[in-house]
Each structure stands twice: as structure tokens, then as C-alpha cells.
Amino acid sequence: MTTDWKTQFESLPPEELDALAVLRVIETTNGIIQFMFRDKDPDALSVEDTRKAMGFSMSSIKRMQIALEDGTIDFSDETKEIMGRVRDLYLKGMKQGDDEAYEKFLDASHACLIACGVPRLFEAKSRLYNECYYMPPESWDWGLSYCLNFMSKPR
């Protein structure tokens, strides 16, 4: 079954894209933090802070709910369904070694970021910087940079 991820993500209302932009910056920031820790990067976070980042990210992804200082971001049922399919592709691709699923996950991720757009991703990073303390403030730039780099590559 072929999925037109571009159409699915672009059909979501602006508030859902706002929420997805926040989630994607959280996910990518956590990914960078995890890689830095595993690679023993000199700027890697401590074990405790790395675990805290992973716990917050995984909780946000699994529950499709993001707890911030000024409130909680909840996703619509439609967005939860779409992101559930994306998560299944991630799990099959990354955790089970299914290369085809991983490529589909990358396609979905790219389409999601493109639908969110650069201004929305910058706003998401600013919101996290001001309202989320599960990861160090400077780390949000790492996740945003990853998103922007990933978006710049054709899929």
C-alpha cells in the first residue's frame, strides 16, 4: 500500500501542524542527545540528563501528548492515527531491520517536516526553549538543525 504522506500531512489543520512541529523538534533533539551519548561526544549530556531526555521524548511520542510549563499539547485522533502508522514504520525499520519500512519512515518524516514548514519549526523550538525544561535549552538548536538539514535533502 502506497501512502501519500505529503497529502496526509498537508491536510491537517494549522494547530495540528503546530503541535507536530513541537513533537518533531523533541524527537530529533532526543535523537541527537542519544547519539552524542553513545558516541561519547565531549558535549554529551550526563547519563541522568540523557535518560531524562529520552523519557520525555518517548512519553510524548507514545502518548501523543506533550507536557509543557504552560499547558499540555494534545493531538487530534486523526493526527494520532497518522503518527501511529509512522511510528510503526520506524519500529519496523529501526528496531527490526526492515529497510523498506525504514525508507517509508524517512519519506513520512520528510513529508511531515515539509508540511510543518521552516517558520513553524522555528516557533516550535522557541516554544520548547521557553516552556520545556526536560532538555537543556541549547539542545533545542540541535534538533532544529537536524530538521532543517533533513528537509533540505530531496526524498
Asked whether residue 13 is domain-assigned, the answer is yes
Asked whether residue 112 is domain-assigned, the answer is yes
Give ∠ CA 39-104-98 in degrees, rounded to 5: 65
pTM of the prediction? 0.95
Q: Is the pLDDT of residue 8 over 70?
A: yes
152 three-class SS: coil
Percentage of the chain beyond pLDDT 70 is 99
Asked whether residue 155 is domain-assigned, the answer is no
Domain that holds residue 116: 5-149
Read off the pLDDT of each residue in 40-57 and give the average, rounded to a whole number: 97
pLDDT-based confidence at 2, cuts 50/70/90?
Answer: low
Look at residue 79 in the predicted model and tell me its pLDDT: 97
Write the pLDDT tens digit of every residue in 79-104.
Answer: 999 999 999 999 999 999 999 999 99
Write the pLDDT tens digit of every residue in 114-141.
Answer: 999 999 999 999 999 999 999 999 999 9
Asked whether residue 154 is domain-assigned, the answer is no
What is the rounded average pLDDT for all residues in the chain? 96
Asked whether residue 98 is domain-assigned, the answer is yes
Look at residue 3 in the predicted model and tell me its pLDDT: 80
Where would I find the beta strands (DSSP E) of the chain? Answer: 65-68, 71-74
Number of compact structural domains in the chain: 1
Contacts of 30 (CB under 8 A, 6+ apart): 53, 54, 56, 57, 58, 135, 143
Q: Are strands 71-74 and 65-68 parallel, antiparallel or unpaired?
A: antiparallel
